[in-house]
Structure 1
């Protein structure tokens, strides 16, 4: 088995090797994005394999487990469109700038990626044209459908990286210092939930120049936030729907409270 099949299901309106869109005609103000929705390796990339074991392709190194299900359910709850990538982050990472040295990873959390070992500039450019740029073009088109679009990016994180301390957060809100309008009130609201350990720019810093939020929200000045959910908490479809149902009214409440 060359990769773990995580083909997305639902009311997908448009399907390409690069992305899937759900609810394109929904009228809501939100745009839900999932940059790491799939661990698919397209056949045009190294014959559909990267040379690592199926169990490694199922890990967080290849995608964000559970994030696609949360995104699809959240978009439905917010009556807003959703865009999900349909290629593994190990092929090329859509949440990195085009010149980022980690755009195509050769080593990730202790796992060597043989299919990327000899990737050169020409191959990276080919992957950009095949997957990276079509995804971002579709995202940009969706974001421009109305002038007050709010982008919420859904990601997931592993409870513990190899050789590192366990991560205690249930949910993290990532944000750039360039725009905290939505994220800081969202953190404050989530901290009112007694059962949640909430991370502020945890487990990662919330800004990388050229990443998806930078490109589609910070540069054009759109309200935005990035939500990281610990992936053991969204392991099943029921978990994913439950988190979406919990987050949708909180997001709506926080947005309504902004000046």
Structure 2
């Protein structure tokens, strides 16, 4: 199963009439979604002949890759950008976003996973080459994980064998967020899992997205076969 938590920058109409007060240029940045991740996810699922579940709302509306009690669930400031539509959000409005966006996304994942014998969960994200005021990130791809490293560590070794790749081992982020998507649907269920981060300047176009999916699919399949997982 391929998951994409931050597939789109759409703000549903029920949220302030479809507007968070964020400039279009900022809504096109990584703060609102993971650019390129949706295309990679769809192409990768097709290459692996498996299903994909993609979000249909911006991470600024509510972040599906956060636990329900995470203080960063609805961000008011992200990478230097204030989110006016989230400032002073009421408990009622936050609950509505949870009911209409966050919980249906996780229900779809749980339902699909339960209908498969032994799903391997692959979550696709993208990361910006450089956060504001921070040094550039040199990695083309990062592999994130928490305590379950059964797939992540062999995959890191396999990707590191590619001569043209710089691979981030739990970079540019760590893979441990209590209550996040992998925690809920993979670790808690003892399912094989890995989270793959791709640098978003490398997956800007549909052709680039398809190329990365075509590259990752056999590597994932080969890694699973070699490890006997």
TM-score when normalising by structure 1: 0.87
Give secondary structure in 2 for the equivalent of 1:229: strand
Is 1:164 paired with 2:134? Answer: yes
Q: Distance in 1 between matches of 2:226 and 2:115?
A: 23
Q: Distance in 2 between matches of 1:200 and 1:120?
A: 38
Q: Distance in 1 between matches of 2:116 and 2:32?
A: 33
Aligned pairs for 1:51-66 within 5 A: 51-66=21-36
| CA offsets 1:98-131 (integer angstroms, 9 cap, x no match) | 0000000000000000000021222111100011
Q: Distance in 1 between matches of 2:139 and 2:17?
A: 38
Which of 178, 192, 197 aligns to 1:209? It is: 178
| CA offsets 1:149-205 (integer angstroms, 9 cap, x no match) | 0000000000000000000000000000x2000000000000000000000000001
Give secondary structure in 1 for the equivalent of 2:61: coil
Q: Distance in 1 between matches of 2:43 and 2:116?
A: 21
Is 1:111 paired with 2:81? Answer: yes
Alignment RMSD (CA, Å): 0.6
Q: Distance in 2 between matches of 1:145 and 1:185?
A: 27
Aligned to 1:193: 162
Q: Which runs of 5+ in 2 are unaligned?
A: none
Aligned to 1:256: 225
Is 1:97 paired with 2:31? Answer: no
Q: Distance in 1 between matches of 2:126 and 2:35?
A: 6
Pairs aligned (count): 228
Give secondary structure in 2 for the equivalent of 1:154: strand
Q: Distance in 2 between matches of 1:210 and 1:135?
A: 14
Q: Which runs of 5+ in 1 are unaligned?
A: 1-30
Aligned to 1:154: 124
**Deviation at residue 258 of structure 1 after TM alignment:** 2.3
Larger helix proportion of the pair? 2
More relative contact order in 1 or in 2 (CA 8 Å, sep 6+)?
2
Runs of 4+ that moved beyond 2 A: none
Is 1:122 paired with 2:92? Answer: yes
**Deviation at residue 146 of structure 1 after TM alignment:** 1.6
Q: Distance in 2 between matches of 1:120 and 1:143?
A: 33
Q: Distance in 2 between matches of 1:239 and 1:144?
A: 32
Is 1:181 paired with 2:150? Answer: yes
